[in-house]
């Protein structure tokens, strides 16, 4: 079963949010669509740990509300199919990465090229995204990690990245550069890293700020 959501209006946030991108009319799926188009670009977004459970907009006392619905709308685009699953509470990262890898293999078995598949993850979702890239080990896969190169990846040196990789981190955040993962990943096809400075620490990725959404969408278009 999938849950398409119509993006009916532009996102309007206050100036204090540092401005967001407006969303385009596109469907957002909770799971892999039943009908697969071999010529389509498929993008998977994996949210942070705090969203696991039943609340799509949980609140962190330090970083505020994680605006998962708004992030999905901001990332959606008519040029690709966005799949953003709301994970269950206490999801095992490795088991979920295997499931996501199987979804991607299903796309490939239906004629979708790895170069038309992109995986994006923030924080815990970034760790999952790295695990997926490591499991698939494909040189054409597109991978975006948002503040996800944490102690988990430091403690698991066997996890490597492959294909085209974009890392974005916030300079005021405790989770920083992915360069150390790139350095141990000899089969990366390309690596680009962007540092943003909003002063919002990890919470910079809790809302669809233009500072990270814009380069993500530009990179998705460029790497197709």
Considering the entire predicted model, what is its pTM? 0.89
Task: Give the list of residues 6+ apart from residue 107 with CB closer than 8 angstroms, or none.
Answer: 32, 36, 42, 117
Q: What is the pLDDT of residues 125-173, one digit of tens each?
A: 999 999 999 999 999 999 999 999 999 999 999 999 999 999 999 999 9
pLDDT digits (tens, 9 = 90+) for 4-46: 333 333 333 333 333 334 444 478 999 999 999 999 999 999 9
Backbone phi, then psi, for 118, in 5-degree steps? -130, 140
CATH number of the domain located at residue range(s) 5-11+20-222 in this protein:
3.40.50.1820
The pLDDT value recorded for residue 26 is 78
- Return the closest-CA partner of residue 157 out of 136, 185, 137: 185
**For residue 15, what pLDDT is reported?**
32
130: helix, strand or coil: helix
Contact of 157 with 182, CB cutoff 8 Å: no
At residue 32, the 3 state secondary structure works out as: coil
Do 7 and 25 touch, CB atoms closer than 8 A? yes
Residue 224: what pLDDT?
57
Mean pLDDT of 97-106: 98
Please report, for the chain, the start and end positions of each structural domain, with discontinuous segments joined by +.
5-11+20-222
């Amino acid at each position: 079963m999938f849950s398409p959501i119509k993006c009916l209006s532009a996102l309007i946030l206050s100036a204090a949010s540092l401005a967001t991108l407006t969303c385009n009319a596109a469907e957002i799926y909770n799971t892999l669509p039943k009908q697969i188009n071999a010529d389509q670009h498929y993008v998977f977004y994996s949210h942070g740990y705090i969203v696991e459970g039943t609340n799509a907009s949980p609140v962190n006392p330090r970083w505020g509300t994680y605006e998962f619905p708004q992030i999905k709308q901001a990332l959606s685009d008519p040029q690709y199919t966005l799949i953003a699953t709301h994970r269950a509470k206490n999801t095992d990262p490795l088991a979920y990465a295997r499931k996501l890898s199987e979804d991607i293999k299903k796309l490939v078995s239906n004629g979708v090229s790895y170069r038309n598949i992109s995986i994006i993850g923030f924080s815990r979702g970034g760790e999952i995204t790295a695990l997926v890239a490591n499991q698939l080990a494909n040189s054409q896969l597109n991978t975006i990690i948002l503040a996800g190169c944490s102690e988990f990846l430091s403690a698991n040196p066997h996890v490597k990245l492959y294909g085209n990789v974009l890392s974005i981190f916030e300079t005021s955040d405790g989770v920083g550069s992915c360069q150390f993962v790139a350095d141990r990943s000899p089969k990366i096809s390309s690596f680009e890293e962007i540092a943003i400075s909003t002063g919002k620490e990890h919470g910079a990725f809790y809302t669809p700020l233009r500072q990270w959404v814009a380069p993500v969408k530009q990179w998705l278009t460029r790497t197709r």
